[in-house]
Amino acid sequence: MLPKRPQYRPFLTGTIAAFMIAGWFAGPAFSQGRESSAMRGNFSQTYRFLRGIESDKGYLFIDGTFIEAPYQIEFQTDGFSVNGKNYLAEDFNLQADEVRNPQHRRRPGIRGGRSQESARQTTLSTLASQLQMLRSGVVVLLAKNASPTFTPPGIASFELIELLASDDPDAINNLAFGGLIHSEMNREAWRQAVSGLQISAAFLEHARIQLAEHRALLLSNQQQVTANQWTARLQYPLTIFAFFLVVAALGHLMTNAEQMIAGVNLSTVPSDGLPTIKRTTIVLLTILSLMSLLDLVWTLLAHQSGTMRELNPLGNELVHSPVQLFLFKTMATGTAVGLLYWLRETPLARRATWWSCLVLTLLTARWLTFNSMFA
The 10s digit of each residue's pLDDT in 64-104 is 888 888 889 988 877 888 998 888 877 776 543 344 444 44
- At 218 the pLDDT is 83
Q: Are residues 136 and 250 located together in one domain of the fold?
A: no
Q: What is residue 132's DSSP assignment? A: G
- At 230 the pLDDT is 82
The overall average pLDDT reported for the chain is 73
Structural domain harbouring 325:
224-374
Q: How many CA atoms lie within 13 A of 169 on its CB side?
A: 3
pLDDT top residue among 147 and 171:
147
The mean pLDDT value for 258-273 works out to 59
Does 240 map to a domain? yes
Q: Are residues 145 and 275 located together in one domain of the fold?
A: no
Rg (Cα) of the chain, in Å, rounded?
38
Q: Are residues 244 and 308 located together in one domain of the fold?
A: yes
- At 215 the pLDDT is 84
Does 173 map to a domain? yes
Residue 335 has pLDDT above 50, yes or no: yes
Residue type, 301: L
Q: Answer whether 253's CB lies under 8 Å from 284's CB.
A: yes
The mean pLDDT value for 253-263 works out to 77
Does 115 map to a domain? yes
Q: How far apart are CA 77 and CA 43, in angstroms?
A: 7
Does 74 map to a domain? yes
Question: Phi/psi of residue 264, each to 5°?
Answer: -75, 135
Q: Are residues 237 and 189 located together in one domain of the fold?
A: no
Q: Answer whether 306's CB lies under 8 Å from 243's CB.
A: no
Asked which of 165, 199, 233 is the last residue of a domain, the reply is 199
The mean pLDDT value for 117-127 works out to 59
> Any idea which of 172-176, 303-307, 345-349 has the lowest mean pLDDT?
172-176
Angle between helix axes 274-304 and 201-255 (nearest 10 degrees) is 150
Q: Answer whether 347's CB lies under 8 Å from 265's CB.
A: yes
Could you tell me the pLDDT band of residue 275, with boundaries at 50, 70 and 90?
A: low
| Number of separate domains in the chain | 2
Residue 67 β-bridge partners = 60
Ramachandran sector of residue 66 (left: φ over 0; alpha: ψ -120 to 50; beta: rest): beta
| CB neighbours of residue 304 within 10 Å | 21
Q: What is residue 61's DSSP assignment? A: E
Instruction: Calculate the alpha carbon distances from 157 to 139, 160, 161, 246 in Å.
Output: 6, 5, 6, 52
Angle between helix axes 322-342 and 274-304 (nearest 10 degrees) is 170
Does 17 map to a domain? no
Question: Phi/psi of residue 44, each to 5°?
Answer: -65, -40
Residue 53 β-bridge partners = 73
This prediction's pTM: 0.51
> Any idea which of 91-95, 125-129, 180-184, 194-198 has the lowest mean pLDDT?
180-184
Q: Are residues 248 and 149 located together in one domain of the fold?
A: no
Q: Are residues 127 and 237 located together in one domain of the fold?
A: no
- At 9 the pLDDT is 56
The mean pLDDT value for 203-210 works out to 84
Does 32 map to a domain? no
Does 23 map to a domain? no
Could you tell me the pLDDT band of residue 187, with boundaries at 50, 70 and 90?
A: low
| CB neighbours of residue 282 within 10 Å | 13
Angle between helix axes 187-195 and 155-165 (nearest 10 degrees) is 40
Q: How far apart are CA 329 and CA 334, in angstroms?
A: 8
Cα–Cα nearest to 183, from 150, 207, 213, 215: 150
Asked which of 199, 233, 264 is the last residue of a domain, the reply is 199
Q: How far apart are CA 42 and CA 192, in angstroms?
A: 42
Residue 246 has pLDDT above 90, yes or no: yes
Residue 258 has pLDDT above 70, yes or no: yes
Q: Where are the beta strands (DSSP E) in the chain?
A: 53-55, 59-62, 65-67, 71-75, 79-82, 85-88, 139-142, 149-150
pLDDT top residue among 225 and 364:
364
Does 80 map to a domain? yes
Q: Are residues 79 and 179 located together in one domain of the fold?
A: yes
